[in-house]
Amino acid sequence: MSDAIKHECGIALIRLRKPYQYYIDKYGTALYGANKLYLLMEKQVNRGQDGAGIANIKIDVPPGRRYISRYRSVDQRPVTDIFEKVNKKFRKALKGNKDKAKDAQWLQENIAFTGEVWMGHLRYGTHGANEIENCHPMLRQSNWRSRNLVVAGNFNMTNVDDLFGKLVSLGQHPKDKVDTVTVMEKIGHFLDEENQRVFERFKGIYENPDLSDIIEDNLDLQRVLHRSCRDFDGGYAMVGMTGYGAAFVARDPAGIRPAYYYADDEVVVVASEKPAIKTAFNVDYSAIQEVKPGHALIVDKYGEYAEQEFVTPIEKKSCSFERIYFSRATDPDIYNERKQLGKLLIPQILKEIDYDLENTVFSYIPNTAETAFFGMVEGLEEYLYKQRKKAIMEGILFEEELDRVLSFRPRIEKLVAKDVKLRTFIADDSQRDDMVSHVYDTTFEVIKKGKDNVVVVDDSIVRGTTLEKSILRMLDRLGPKKIIIVSSAPQIRFPDCYGIDMSKFREFIGFRAALELLKDRGMEDLLDEVYAQCVAAIESGNASQQNYVKALFDPFTHDELSKKVSQIVTPTDLKAEVAVVYQTVENLHRACPNHSGDWYFTGNYPTPGGNVVVNKAFVNFMEGKLVRAY
């Protein structure tokens, strides 16, 4: 996006299903698991660059040997930083012990990160400081191997206060009131209870230390997850490891956050995106499966795995922003969906340029919009094919005119390129805007001044500030008659509360447009009406029942809001006419039929907590509070 936002997170899990010695013998390295996890994380680094973390568990090492290892980093390149440390640890341990480099037993007893279960996490912080304490994985420790818990996730909970209160009512004293700690402690509490339940069942039959192994073999992680997560409200894909080697990946009942897995006789692998698994393990896309909503992929101590329902699934509402922007377009399904998003915009674009293709140049910004741009060009070619056919069928064309009709192609240029070497570090606001405008380079002398239209495709327009302060001014210097900014996503009108850093109404250009239209039409009293409804619903505990803020958008059409956005982002001294074209929600669902989560566009939240958040967010806006509502 030209308006950068923080979003999502990335998860990875690897379970080696054979003895550690097997991988050393077959692949010639004791770092097989580490190398594969590194690939999984590097191929998902788009999902989080604020920090990273890994954890590793060894199964069945003797008492007195460390069996849980963890590294976290907030380095500028955190994934590289972590795995350099892992490699350094190996080199140091093998110095003087080179004869042990392929001895699995010695390695596991003497070197960290030689376990069979691996977890990785990439962090994009939607809140909280960028400190190592905020990086996953989180660790809940115990002297009982079966009570140790390591958790990481791609999630946001909307009901953290309620979950925190329940922990306190259980007698706990959580160290922090954030969803990461709350989730881990909730799962940890019920893992403790499950340990106690199994202990009571077998304590008269077996004696320690055999009883510890019996407990591990009989723990029911599905039961633990059901009891822990049944009152969670949010979007989540959580990965967890127990100290004895069992692991799980649990996905929310609406399938909001993504999780995919692959398994064969050597490994079970989980990641947030398919291409990461495809690249790291060189498997067919058809072999990679989606973890079903409301289900957990549970891998036991012995490497056996199964998908098990732990909460009742609801209507699937997978995040459509994954398809529009967040996930890598190397996934063939996502690639085709993004092309389709571009193609479906053609009727709106042609209308804005008055069908004048001869005097229109097409381009895109930023680079992530390239795939939608390809789809748009494909759509233009299809339109031209129909026009050529129509011209030929309707009458006899002279040779010169026939040549022109057959040879005409859309004018495509690379008008804008980002200068990655330039950093806008200047804090002085009066100078910073000018610096921002120079982060991009423009291609001059390809536009016919005062005659050409310029059409530029973007992934999405969130705040509109980059358009207003740099992109439109930069394009205006090329001398076009009209600038059309095309968003492959619909108008963002409502906050996200499931993992994307879009939490405040005041940030959205679509919401600002609605406010301006209300003012233009003398309908500002509607703001007070909706505010009163939201306050009453929150005070009565009924805010989960309805999104009252939708009423602010009901009086206006899609096109009216787009036109107002165009006016808001257009600098007063701009010479060119400006139009902003947004994807429609209907076409979004045509392009991405299996990912219908659209609450940021429509206000239709998939969980009750979403309605609570949107109503609170509007109250915060009306009261001038610059905080998120969850």
CB-based contacts of 360, cutoff 8 Å, min separation 6: 353, 410, 411, 452, 453, 454, 455
The one-character DSSP state at 388 is H
**Domain harbouring 397, CATH code:** 3.40.50.2020
Residue 291, φ and ψ in degrees, nearest 5: -65, 125
Q: Which pLDDT score, from 0 to 100, does residue 163 have?
A: 76
Least confident of 126-130, 290-294, 378-382: 126-130
Q: Does 628 fall in a domain?
A: no
User: For the whole model, what pTM was predicted?
Assistant: 0.91
Q: Does 323 fall in a domain?
A: no
**Domain count along the chain:** 2
Q: Which pLDDT score, from 0 to 100, does residue 125 have?
A: 65
SS3 592: coil
CA distance 159 to 34: 36
Q: Does 115 fall in a domain?
A: yes
Q: Of 369, 238, 254, give the one whose Cα is nearest residue 319.
A: 254
Q: How many residues does the chain have?
A: 630
In this structure, the answer to whether residues 288 and 358 fall within a common structural domain is no
Q: Of 156, 266, 33, give the one whose Cα is nearest residue 501.
A: 156
Q: Does 26 fall in a domain?
A: yes
Q: Does 1 fall in a domain?
A: no
SS3 595: coil
In this structure, the answer to whether residues 312 and 365 fall within a common structural domain is no
Task: Give the pair of three-digit tokens for residue 491.
Answer: 């108008």
Residues in a beta bridge with 9 = 123
In this structure, the answer to whether residues 235 and 334 fall within a common structural domain is no
In this structure, the answer to whether residues 340 and 276 fall within a common structural domain is no
Q: Does 475 fall in a domain?
A: yes
Task: Give the pair of three-digit tokens for residue 443.
Answer: 């291609």
pLDDT digits (tens, 9 = 90+) for 44-80: 998 988 899 999 999 988 888 899 999 999 999 999 9
| Euclidean distance between the first and the last CA atom of the chain, given in angstroms as a whole number | 25
In this structure, the answer to whether residues 283 and 339 fall within a common structural domain is no
In this structure, the answer to whether residues 474 and 421 fall within a common structural domain is yes
DSSP string, 208-265: TTHHHHHHHHH--HHHHHHHHHTT--EEEEEEEEETTS-EEEEE-TT--S--EEEE-S
pLDDT digits (tens, 9 = 90+) for 30-47: 999 999 999 999 999 989
Q: Which pLDDT score, from 0 to 100, does residue 425 have?
A: 42
Q: Does 2 fall in a domain?
A: no
Q: Of 333, 375, 342, give the one whose Cα is nearest residue 594.
A: 333
Q: For the beta carbon of residue 284, count every other beta carbon within 10 angstroms.
A: 8
Confidence of residue 404 (pLDDT cuts 50, 70, 90): confident
Q: Does 629 fall in a domain?
A: no
In this structure, the answer to whether residues 407 and 481 fall within a common structural domain is yes
CA distance 75 to 20: 30
In this structure, the answer to whether residues 280 and 370 fall within a common structural domain is no
Residues in a beta bridge with 118 = 14, 56
In this structure, the answer to whether residues 305 and 335 fall within a common structural domain is no
In this structure, the answer to whether residues 475 and 497 fall within a common structural domain is yes
In this structure, the answer to whether residues 364 and 473 fall within a common structural domain is yes
Task: Give the pair of three-digit tokens for residue 508.
Answer: 């959205």
pLDDT digits (tens, 9 = 90+) for 177-192: 566 778 889 999 999 9
Looking at 316, 344, 373, the residue that finishes a domain is 316
pLDDT digits (tens, 9 = 90+) for 542-592: 999 999 999 999 999 999 999 999 999 999 999 999 999 999 999 999 999
SS3 173: coil
Looking at 316, 340, 368, the residue that finishes a domain is 316
Q: Of 46, 6, 44, give the one whose Cα is nearest residue 368.
A: 46
**Domain harbouring 98, CATH code:** 3.60.20.10
Is the per-residue pLDDT at 5 higher than 90?
no
In this structure, the answer to whether residues 510 and 579 fall within a common structural domain is yes
Looking at 292, 316, 340, the residue that finishes a domain is 316
Q: Which domain holds residue 216?
A: 10-316
